[in-house]
Amino acid sequence: MYHMVRQMLQKISRLALAVLTTALVWPAHMQASELLMFERGGCVWCQRWDREIGPVYDKTAEAKLLPLRRITTESQAARSITLASPVHYTPTFVVVDNGREIGRITGYVNDDAFWGLLAALAARIAPPRRSANRI
């Protein structure tokens, strides 16, 4: 009898662990939209973006809608992301929504061009629905 109780407790604890793990991992997968920055070491345009945009990006409304994820071109296999075509040039910024590419910015010229192009891509993403009970 004790053996059966012990087995049942082990099953319950495994189930609880699975539920807890899912609860912790699920929010990371729920991020519907993001900005992928494909870069490579020694890229002077990537470094320029880092100097001009990097320090302020996380503080912008765009970052709230499109959190930045950096990917090196060497490890380009963006898991669970469907790209329209491979990335060949750096930096390349890919706007992704629900795992699919919405659009991309290839290269970096200056901050005005970047913000304008990013705004156009961000406009393609539907805003999250608000609950009818929220004010």
Please report whether residue 132 resides in a domain: no
Sign for the pseudo-dihedral over CA of 58, 62, 67, 70: negative
DSSP bridge partners of 4: none
Check whether residue 56 and residue 16 sit in a common domain. Answer: no
Spell out the residues 6+ positions from residue 100 whose beta carbon is closer than 8 angstroms to its own.
81, 82
Whole-angstrom distance, CA of residue 95 vs CA of residue 124? 10
* 21 plus 51 within the same structural domain: no
Residue 129 lies in a domain: no
Judgement on whether residues 24 and 35 belong to the same structural domain of the protein? no
Name which of 14-18, 32-36, 87-91 the model is least confident about: 14-18
Quick one: 40 and 60 in the same domain? Answer: yes
Domain assignment present for 60: yes
Query: How does pLDDT run across 26-74, given as a tens digit for each residue?
Result: 344 445 899 999 999 999 999 999 999 999 999 999 999 999 999 988 7
Q: Residue type at 75? A: S
| Domain hosting residue 3, numbered range | 1-28
83 falls within a domain: yes
Co-location of 53 and 106 in the same domain? yes
User: 63: buried, middle or exposed (CB in 10 Å: 19+, 13-18, 0-12)?
Assistant: middle
Report how many domains make up the chain.
Answer: 2
Do 38 and 92 lie in one domain? The reply is yes
pLDDT digits (tens, 9 = 90+) for 90-135: 999 999 998 889 999 999 999 999 999 999 999 998 665 555 554 5
Give the model's confidence band at 6: pLDDT under 50 very low, under 70 low, under 90 confident, else very high.
Answer: low
Q: Are residues 17 and 53 both part of a single domain? A: no
